Amino acid sequence: MARMMRAEAEGEGKQGMLYVGNVIVNRLVANCLDFKGLRTVNQVIFQVQGGNFSFEAVQKGNVFYQRARTSEKRLAQQNLDYWRDHPAKFALWYFNPHAPCPATWYDQPKSGQFKEHCFYEPKPGTCDSVYSG
């Protein structure tokens, strides 16, 4: 998890990496939509959707396989201990559009933006478990 946080958001600092960690943990507890049956962090990170890995860093592989440093391991532990914050508090998706964030992404509402990443949470009533995890 720490490697994923580093690979996906190192350029956005500790806060950005924590937000990526929020999404990972949220997908683990959601058990809805595209994330049914995921029971481990490893399953979340290596999930395949539409023939591709869900996370770009795993798909490309060039950055993800660098070791996590002690600082990223501490951040990952914070997430596992249920640290949550807006805009990723309930987010199941994020991406960097290299442009302004769209209001929705695959019909899911934008919960906010941090630096270059846009975060999206499920529409009300479609994945209530993410709000109680």
pLDDT tens digits, residue range 19-42?
Answer: 999 999 999 999 999 999 999 999
* pLDDT digit string, tens, across residues 82-118: 899 999 999 999 999 999 999 999 999 999 999 999 9
Share of the chain above pLDDT 70, in %: 98
More confident site: 61 or 24: 24
Q: Bridge partners of 116?
A: none
For residue 133, name the pLDDT band (cuts at 50, 70, 90): low
Domain that holds residue 109: 2-131
Any idea which of 58-62, 83-87, 122-126 has the lowest mean pLDDT?
58-62
The pLDDT of residue 29 is: 92
Chain-wide mean pLDDT for the chain?
Answer: 94
CB distance 127 to 33 below 8 Å? yes
Greater model confidence, 2 or 132? 2
Nearest-CA neighbor of 85 among 8, 20, 39? 20
User: What's the half-sphere exposure (Cβ side, CA atoms, 13 Å) at 37?
Assistant: 3
Overall domain count for the chain:
1
pTM to 2 decimal places: 0.95
